[in-house]
Structure 1
Amino acid sequence: MKLRWPRLRAVVPAAALVAGLATATPAAAAPTVTSGWNDFSCKPSAAHPRPVVLAHGTLGNSVDNWLGLAPYLVARGYCVFSLDYGQLPGVPVFHGLGPVDASAQQLAGYVDRVRSATGAAKVDIVGHSQGAMMARVYLKFHGGADKVDTLVGLAPTNHGTTLSGLTKLLDLFPGARKYIDEHAQGLTDQAVGSALLNRLNAGGDTLPGIHYTVITTKYDEVATPYTTGYLKGPDVRNVRLQDLCAVDLSEHVAIGMVDRIAFHETANALDPAHATPSNCLSAAS
């Protein structure tokens, strides 16, 4: 059954922000050490020489967003790390709300820390929703292009979202968009036509030398329409879950948190030399 709670998850914290939270974005908090991942003593194997950095989505965090995918990748021999970014003062648990450009700088520092700890020259990044788009900001504007081999986006907001019309709703209330910009710019940075997205996508979607995979679901109710997540470029693979398994009903949150077909396709993207077909049976793997 298609999940409905993510709509409330998106709206309730946003309503709290409108009530008057502070505007500053603090430095990244120390990563949570979670069983199996965020182990900075992990050394990449010859089979999987690049650590995997996971970037959560809007209103997500470094643990909850990855309780499914992180152990899945660890079990397959990867060194896996996840960060919190885009925190606002007084807002626990729900992150990814600060300006996307500032979040990309947080990612830059985290990637350098992972590279230093593991000795790896490059990492791979898997981002959910804003996390995938924000990673592209890091690649293009904050020195990431030489430090990343592969970027996998799960339901990304690469070309913006209408949030099923919620962003248009802001325009009906004079001053509302400006207020949200001041308190949670991470939301409006993802709106179709935002200044950040125009700058990010100017001159083309991709950078040379980086392998891109985008995984979407036609039931996405947050990154709308879902096709805006797709990228164009010479080294891009755009995948729709329902083309792999027609009965997959995952929506925006489930694709990043619990969908085993999306997990399998992510693993294929990270290790294409040993990829196996993703299909309905992948859900049991």
Structure 2
Amino acid sequence: MSEYSFRLSRLFNLPSIAALVTALVATPTFASTYSVAPNIAVGIVNALPNPAAAPPGANLQSCSLKQHPYPVVLVNGTFSVMEDDFGALAPDLANAGYCVYTFNYGGASPNSLIQATGSAISSASVLASYVQQVLSETGATKVDLVGHSQGGMLAEYYAKVIGGAPYIHNLVGLSPTTHGTTLDGLTLLASVFPGANQLVGAACPACADQENGSAMIQQLDSGPIAQAGVGYTIIETKDEFVVTPVGSSFINEPGVTNEYVQSSCPLDAVDHADLSYDNVAIQLVKNALSPSTAHAPNCAISFPWPAQ
């Protein structure tokens, strides 16, 4: 068994409901307004009763932009829903005073536990519409986009190809499929989500759209990706198993910040699926959204503990 397969079996392929309950009971609690899930295994359990529900702290009608003038739109990755992908990042940002918004897309139905498998080109248009909805509801002039995996690539595509750059303040990608990946990587990712393996291939147009050399990836990668007026930060892990080779998420262009989690905390062994739950990655996201208050992550509480 490979290192990656071992990590996945250890973290995600829990053998029984009893094991899932044990994982939940054993989870430490943290004093905060919105509860932060410690890892994606718990995030999946939390999403089971209502896959269409937003994670804690997100999509709040009463949110004020006084502390942070740009609403943060989170875009989840392939096979995931907003609850299981952003069960840590959404509440953590909300606890830090951000107005957080997120949505499901590309699923068989709004209530499907597996989302983000439909045409990625169509999903980019859904993202564009959602950004306009958030701007209308909040009165903001721009949003900060944070996308994980496919979500990061959709944000990049929206900014460049659809013309969304004027509406984006910062764009943060967590292991985005910027230059595509292999079907093997997406198949391995599918093993994280119950029932997703059956959708890989013909039942997952988004998988084909993210493969190396697809028409969508060629369109995104033809010429410069980074757009004027948008702040770009790409965050990767050296323990990447989906977007390969490692480092291929990066946009190697002037003005783009590319950083590995391990550049801040060398012993952090977070992988692709849990990147949006990693304390170090979450702090790097916060640093990108608010450079004036940026500080180094606390490596003593790295993966899988929530950020402080």
Alignment of 1:149-188 (within 5 A): 149-164=169-184, 182-188=202-208
Would you say the 8 A contact 1:32–1:38 is kept in 2? no
Would you say the 8 A contact 2:185–2:243 is kept in 1? no
Query: Using the alignment, how far apart are the partners of 1:35 and 1:244 within structure 2?
Result: 28
Where does structure 1 differ by over 6 angstroms across 4 or more consecutive aligned residues?
A: 6-9
Deviation at residue 152 of structure 1 after TM alignment: 0.6
Alignment of 1:28-177 (within 5 A): 32-45=53-66, 47-89=67-109, 92-164=112-184
State yes or no: 1:275 paired with 2:279.
Answer: no
Would you say the 8 A contact 1:55–1:127 is kept in 2? yes
Query: Match for residue 7 of structure 2?
Result: 3
Q: Secondary structure at the match of 2:288?
A: helix
User: Greater RCO between the two (CA within 8 Å, min separation 6)?
Assistant: 1
Q: How many correspondences in the alignment? A: 252
Deviations 1:205-242 (A, max 9, x none): 21111111111111111111121100022221101111
- TM-score where L is the length of structure 1: 0.81
Deviation at residue 55 of structure 1 after TM alignment: 0.3
State yes or no: 1:239 paired with 2:259.
Answer: yes
Query: Match for residue 215 of structure 1?
Result: 235
Unmatched 5+ stretches in structure 1? 10-29, 168-178
Which amino acid in structure 1 is aligned with residue 269 of structure 2? Answer: L
State yes or no: 1:252 paired with 2:256.
Answer: no
Query: Using the alignment, how far apart are the partners of 1:116 and 1:193 within structure 2?
Result: 36
Task: Summarize the Cα distance change of 1:220–1:119 in structure 2 as closer, same or farther, 3 Å threshold.
Answer: same
Deviation at residue 204 of structure 1 after TM alignment: 1.2
Task: Summarize the Cα distance change of 1:137–1:107 in structure 2 as closer, same or farther, 3 Å threshold.
Answer: same
State yes or no: 1:261 paired with 2:265.
Answer: no
Query: Match for residue 41 of structure 2?
Result: none
Deviations 1:151-200 (A, max 9, x none): 11111110011255678xxxxxxxxxxx9665311001111111110111
- TM-score where L is the length of structure 2: 0.75
Query: Match for residue 191 of structure 1?
Result: 211
Would you say the 8 A contact 1:53–1:126 is kept in 2? yes
RMSD: 2.5
Would you say the 8 A contact 1:52–1:81 is kept in 2? yes
Q: Secondary structure at the match of 1:213?
A: strand
Q: Secondary structure at the match of 1:70?
A: helix
Query: Using the alignment, how far apart are the partners of 2:129 and 2:210 within structure 1?
Result: 22
Which amino acid in structure 1 is aligned with residue 280 of structure 2? Answer: I
Which amino acid in structure 1 is aligned with residue 8 of structure 2? Answer: R
Which amino acid in structure 1 is aligned with residue 289 of structure 2? Answer: L
Query: Using the alignment, how far apart are the partners of 1:55 and 1:90 within structure 2?
Result: 15
Q: What is the percent sequence identity of the aligned residues?
A: 39
Deviations 1:105-161 (A, max 9, x none): 111111111111111000001100000001111112223111011111111110011
Would you say the 8 A contact 2:79–2:116 is kept in 1? yes
Task: Summarize the Cα distance change of 1:191–1:118 in structure 2 as closer, same or farther, 3 Å threshold.
Answer: same
Query: Using the alignment, how far apart are the partners of 1:158 and 1:83 within structure 2?
Result: 21
